[in-house]
Every structure is written in structure tokens, then in C-alpha cells.
Structure 1
Amino acid sequence: MEAVSVIIPAHDAARTIARTLASLASEKAVIGEVLLVDDSSSDATAAVATEAALRLGLPLRVIRSSCRDAGGSRNLALEQACFPWIYMIDADDLHLEGGLRVLLAKAMTQSGADMVVGAYHRRVDGEERSTKIPSAYAASGPANACAYLEGRIRSIAVGSALVSRRIIGETRFPTGLAYDEDTLFWARLMAKASLTVVTQPIFIYFVSAERSDDRFTVRAAARFLEWRLALRQLRSCGIAKQSLKMREGLVALKIARVCYARGDFDMAARFLRVAEAAPRAGGDVWRCMRYRLKIRLRRRFSAPAGQLQRA
């Protein structure tokens, strides 16, 4: 069976990295190298990882980075990866025993497969929320990329996919984005990959709801414009403009929902207008209408008494 390069970006991950590495120990037979990208850590991330890897018998190599960006760190490791298959996981997530071997076995038995996507458990603030099982993939790469951007295919999480180094080629993660850089990377790969799936959960994805939502509210407008510019570059992959516009609407609606939840009704209304201007599926049309009504009601009942009387 062919070997795998495992890529782990890490920033101040001394508290979690040993546990993540331990979760990979059962896969030693198929792991050719573990590339840990220590990105500007101020703690003992590299030392803790080195000690854990020695104890576990994992072939760890530490790459120093100062890009302060998970996508940029992954790109550094992609430049140096030596083995035919690439598996990426974050420094605070947990691999599930046998998952990597299942992905690799599927790749070996599915003739011509460049990419294998598995299921994963999603744990939010320590609570098990859902198991995401890949479904609705087609034979056509561009069709998969469009469906993925439009939200018609279950999300891929870093940690649930195995990709051939050959199909990655020069494809890299966009850098400097606050969110969705993984989606843009996967879409580029899907557009050219022969893809297959397994329904076995591969890893546990740990999510902090507050940290996740913070990405959408800090410099919300500027960050959205930066992300939209990177999104539109996917046209070079043959991805339909309609799909890119639908993705804009989906992300804008998510930002509107987060801003609404945090009481910034003006910003929520701005992003809701962007979502309403984009092509939408039926469910998203209803969500926009619902949030438009909720914003109107919250504004009305949050107004000072004098304003309500004048109204």
C-alpha cells in the first residue's frame, strides 16, 4: 500500500498537538511522514510535538513558518511533501482509528481516483452535533465543484479527505482570507479530480462557535470583499459564474445571521441585501425573508420610546 504525507498546521498548539498525534499513531504503517508546520508559535508546540512523535514512533518533521495563516502553512508543507498521497488535519482535531487506511484502500481499489472524501463527526463547543456523510457527488469534476459551492454537496472538512499529490500539482490554498479558504481549495481540486467517497467517519472536527463567528464580524465588509475576489478567481477552473454568485449569497446570508445574533442589525441588513441579490435555492429565499422580518421587528422594538411614538 502506498504511503501518505500527513500535514498539520499549528499555531500555539502545545495543549492539543500531542493528542492529535496520538490519534494518528494507529496509522503508522501507511504514514511516510508527518509535516508539522509550526507557524509563529509562542509556546512549546514544536517541542511537545517532537517528544510525542518520538514516543509514538511517528516520522515527524517540523517546518518553521511565520505566515500566521493556516492556508499558507499548508502550502509550505505541500511544497515539501514527498509521498504520493496527502492527508491534512488540524492541530486540535482527532483522527479516528483506521480512517486513513480506509481512505487509502478506497483510493487503491477505485481505479483512477484522485480524491477520497469520508464522513466526519462535528463537535461544537465540546458537544457532539452531527455526523457529516458525503453524498450527492457526480462523475463530473466541474459538476461536483459547482454543486459544492452551491451547498448541494456535504461540506468537506480538512481531516476528512485524502488527495493525490499528482492532482494537487500547483494548486494551493488562498492566503490572507478570514474564512472559506478550504472551500476554495477543495473546489479547485474537485474541478479536475476523479472523486470517490467512503461513509466511515474519518476524524472528529472540533469547532468553537464563538471563534468561528468572530471571523465573520471583524472587518466584516472588507473581509467579504477580499474573499469574494478570491472566489471569483475560480472562473479559471471552468466553474460556472452562477455557482460563484450562489456561493456569495450563501456566505453573505451566514454573515447576516451572525451579525443579527450579535445585535448588529445594520450590518446584518447590508449582508442580507447581498444574499437577496444572489441566485438562491428555495430554502434560502425563505431564510432571507425570515431574517428581513426579524431585523425589521428587532429594529422597531429596540428603538427608543420617542421614536416608536412618532412611528
Structure 2
Amino acid sequence: MEAVSVIIPAHDAARTIARTLASLASEKEVIGEVLLVDDSSSDATATVASDAALRCGLPLRIIKSSCRDAGGSRNLALEQARFPWIYLIDADDLHLEGGLRALLAKASAQPGPGMVVGAYRRHVKGEERSTKLPGGYVASGPANACAYLEGRIRSIAVGSALVSRRVVGETRFATGLAYDEDTLFWTRVMAKASLAVVTRPIFIYFVSVERSDDRFTVRPAKGFLEWRLALRRLRSCGIAERSLKTREGLVALKIARVHYARGDFDMAARFLNVAEAAPRAGADVWRCMRYRLKIALRRRFSAPAAQLQRA
């Protein structure tokens, strides 16, 4: 089998990085290098990683970074990766034994795909909630990319996919975005890659729902406009306009949901307007209607309560 460049962005990851590296130890025969990008850490991330890699026999190379951005850190490593295949995993997730070899075995099949996507286990608050299986992929790269943006193909979690360095080429992660930079990267890669899937879980994805939702509340309007500008650059990949507008609606609906849950009904209503203006599947039409009703009801019943408090 050909060797793999493993890329791990890390910021203040001293508490988790040893465990992540240990989870990769069973794959060391196919790992050519582990590129850990130590991005402005204020803890002992680099020291802990070096010690763990030495114990595990992993070929670790530490790249210092000051970009404070996971996408930017991954880009630095992509520039320096030397092996034919790229595998990305975060510094707080766990690789599952044999997963990387399963991806490589599929990649070695004839005709060889440029990208292989596997399943993953999703953990929330320390509990395994579900196993997410890839599905819905077709032979056409652009068709996969459009379906991915529109939510008709399950999102790829970093840690579940293997991609050829040749296919990645000059493709890089968007930087400075609050969210969805992974989606933009995978869409660009998918648009030019033949793709295969494996149904075995490749890694465990530890999800922080609160941290994920927080991203949508920092400068929500400006953050959305910056993200939408990056999204629209996907036109250069041949992505259909409808797919771009559908993605805008999906993200706007997600932002509306977060702001509604946190009691900011005005902001929720603003993003709901964006979601309602986008092309939507039947389920999303219903979600918009439901949130519109919920916002109206919460506003109606919260107003008398506020008046009583003032009295």
C-alpha cells in the first residue's frame, strides 16, 4: 500500500493529543508522516505530542503556526505533505484500528478512486449517539458536489475520508470563516474526484453541540456574509447556482435555530427570511414554517411577561 500523510491541526490540545496519536499507532505501517500543526498553543501541546509519538513509533513532524485557524493550519500542512494520500483528523478525536488501512485498500482498487469516504461514530457528551454511514454518491464528481452542498449526501466528518494528494492539488481550506470551511473544501475536492465509500467506521467524532452552536452567534450577520462570499467562489468549480442558494438556505436555517434556542427571536427571524427565500426540500419548508410559528408564539407570550415584570 502507498503511504499516508496524516494532518492534525492543534491549539491547546495537550489534554487530548496523546490519546489521538495513540489511536493512530496501529496504522503506523502505512503512515509516512504525521504533520501536527501547533497553532499558537499556550500549553505543552508540542511536548506532549512529541513524547506520545516517540512512545507509539509514529513519524511526527511539528509545524509551528500562528494563524489561529484550523483551516489555515491544515493548509500549512498540505503545503508540506510528501506522501500520495492525505488523511485529516482533529486533535481531540480518535482513529479506529484498521480504518486507515480499509480506506487505503479501497483506494487501491481498480479503477482507483481519488477519494474514499468511510463511516464514523458520533459521540455527544461522552455517549455514542449514532454511526453515520456514507451514501448517495454517484460516478459524477460535480453531481456529488452539488448533492453534498444541498444536504442530499451526509456531511463528511474530518477523520472519515482519505484523499489523493494529486486530487487535492492546489485546493485549500477557506480561512477566517466562523463555520462550514470543511464543507467548502470537500465540495471543491469532490467536484474533481472519482469517489468510493467504505461502510466500516473509521474514527470517533467527539461533538460539542454548545461549541458548534457558539460559532453561529459571533458576529452573525457579518460572519454569514463572509461565508456566503466564500461559498459563491465555488462557481469556479462548476457548481450549479441552485445548489449554492440551497446551501445558503440550509445554513441560514441552522443559524435561525440556534438564535431561537438562545432567545434572540429578532435575529432568528432575520435568518429565517433568508432560509425561506432559498430553494428548499419539503422537510425544510416544514421546518421554516414550524420556526416561524414558534417565533410568533414566543414573542406573543413573552411580551405580557415582560410587561408584568416592569409593573
TM bracket (short chain): over 0.9
Which residue does the alignment assign to 1:249? 249
Q: What are the superposed Cα offsets for residues 254-300 of structure 1, whole Å, 9 maximum, x if unpaired?
A: 00000000000000000000000000000000000000000000000
Map 1:1-311; keep pairs closer than 5 Å. 1-304=1-304
Residue segments in structure 2 that go unaligned for 5+ positions in a row: none
Please, which runs of 5 or more residues in structure 1 have no aligned partner?
none
Range with bigger deviation, 107-116 or 66-75: 107-116
Q: CA deviation at 1:127?
A: 1.9
User: Would the alpha carbon gap of residues 175 and 305 (structure 1) be closer, same or farther in structure 2, given more than 3 Å must change?
Assistant: closer
User: Structure 2 CA distance, aligned partners of 1:259 and 1:101?
Assistant: 42
Shift of 1:306: 8.6
Percent identity reads 86
How far apart are 1:129 and its partner, in Å?
1.6
1:34-80 Cα distance to aligned partner (Å, 9 max, x none): 00000000000000000000011000000000000000000000000
TM-superposed CA distance for 1:130, in Å, is 1.4
Q: CA deviation at 1:307?
A: 6.7
Inter-partner Cα distance in structure 2 for 1:2 and 1:158: 21
Q: 1:306 to 1:117 in 2, by over 3 A?
A: closer
- 124-133 or 19-28: which moved more? 124-133
Cα pair distance change 1:301/1:18, threshold 3 Å: same
Q: C-alpha displacement at 1:208, in angstroms?
A: 0.7
Question: TM-score of the superposition, structure 1-length normalised?
Answer: 0.98
Of 106-115 and 261-270, the range deviating more from structure 2: 106-115
Cα distance in 1 between the residues matched to 2:130 and 2:231: 28
Amino acid at match of 2:187: A
Q: Deviation of residue 110 (structure 1)? A: 3.8
Secondary structure at the counterpart of residue 6 of structure 2: strand
CA distance in structure 2 between the aligned counterparts of 1:213 and 1:307, rounded to whole angstroms: 30
TM-score w.r.t. the length of structure 2 is: 0.98
Partner SS for 1:216: coil
Take 2:129 and 2:79, find their aligned partners in 1: how far apart are those partners?
35
Give the AA of the match of 2:231: L
Rounded Cα–Cα distance in structure 2 between residues aligned with 1:264 and 1:48 = 41
Q: Matched residue of 2:116: which SS?
A: strand
Structure 1 residue 218 displacement after superposition: 1.2
Q: Cα RMSD over matched residues?
A: 1.0
Question: What SS class does the counterpart of residue 28 from structure 2 fall into?
Answer: helix
For 1:144, the aligned partner's letter is: N
Task: Report the 3-state secondary structure (helix = DSSP H, G, I; strand = E; otherwise coil) of the residue aligned with 1:303.
Answer: helix
1:128 and 1:258 map into 2 onto residues whose CA distance is 23
- Number of paired residues? 308
Question: Helix, strand or coil: the match of 2:189?
Answer: helix
Comparing 242-251 with 118-127, greater Cα deviation is found at: 118-127
Query: For the residues of structure 1 that align with 2:127 and 2:262, how far apart are their CA atoms?
Result: 22
- For residue 156 of structure 2, give the secondary structure of its aligned residue in structure 1: coil
